[in-house]
Amino acid sequence: VIAERHGRQRQSERNAGAHQFRTGRSPLPRVLVGAGISLALALPPMALGYDGLGFMLENFLAGLLLFATAHEYWRGREEAPAPLQGVALLYSLTAASFVLCAAVLGWDGRLVLGHAPSNWAEDLSLIIVIASMTGIGGLSLALNQGRLAQHHRRNALTDPLTGLLNRRALFDLHGEAPVGAFMAVVVFDLDGFKAINDEFGHAAGDAVLKVFAEELAANLQPTDAAARLGGEEFALVLKRTLPEKVEFAAERIRASFAARHIETETRPLSCTVSAGYAFGSQDGISFDKVLSAADKALYAAKRGGRNRVLAATLRRAS
């Protein structure tokens, strides 16, 4: 009986663990609910001496929890289709073996056994459990290693302060392919950022960078890419667009950022940003050249008084 209780708790923990794997949320509530329901249904027959009925319920409930575990992994299969489908299949086979044990006990019809069940279904279930848990362990290890690799790659391509892409990631995405006539690059640079660091401190400067990154991310379209190039300089890449749309997007970001009041340890501050943008050409030119043209337009905006958006002389081919 004690072994059955421990087994039931393990099935509840597996289901909760699968839920945590898929969603990232704490599994404790699901563990408590699953274990509580199982105890409430299976313990009374055991306590009254109907161990045959208790074992039937134990097996059936364990099967349900294992099917629920398989379902959780199946729902998250987009992350890694083949391994997660394999895990779901193995959990389903294990669940079916427990339900089979319950069915054989029910067919036998004995409500009182006086000992642990012993029949062909139990023997088959034991073989399936050993094989499935071995396979699940191997697949779970592979999934965990894959997640770690993705995590390290994501960290290598992400600016840690703002959460945007970093310069390397931006060039990985766009550095090789030629930039066509309907693709634009906007470069932003925060105005007077060094003075903010000098007057308010680096913590305030970091807060300003984060706020601008928020404004940039809030105005992204699904096909756009935003990156922090370094320091207070950012870039926005827009695909399948037109000059008036690029100017509108850059102006919207500029105006919304200028309207933000950023809290610091001493007093709120506001900041402005200048921007320059450039398009590719009909024949396609390198991303680096378009970025350089946008950068020149940015510094023309700086020289022209800051807090403005200017287009580069390199424009979309007509």
- Which positions are catalytic? 232
Cβ atoms of 273 and 189 closer than 8 Å: yes
Q: Residue 206 is inside which H or E element, if any?
A: helix 202-218
For the chain, what is the total number of helices (H) and then of strands (E)? 10, 6
Q: How far apart (Å, rounded) are the C-alpha atoms in residues 171 and 168? A: 5
Q: How far apart (Å, rounded) are the C-alpha atoms in residues 318 and 309? A: 22
Provide the b/e sequence for 2-36 (b: ≥16 CB within 10 Å): eebbebbbebbbbbbbbbbbbeeeebeebbeebbe
* 3-class SS of residue 217: helix
- Hey, what are 275's tokens? 């921007």
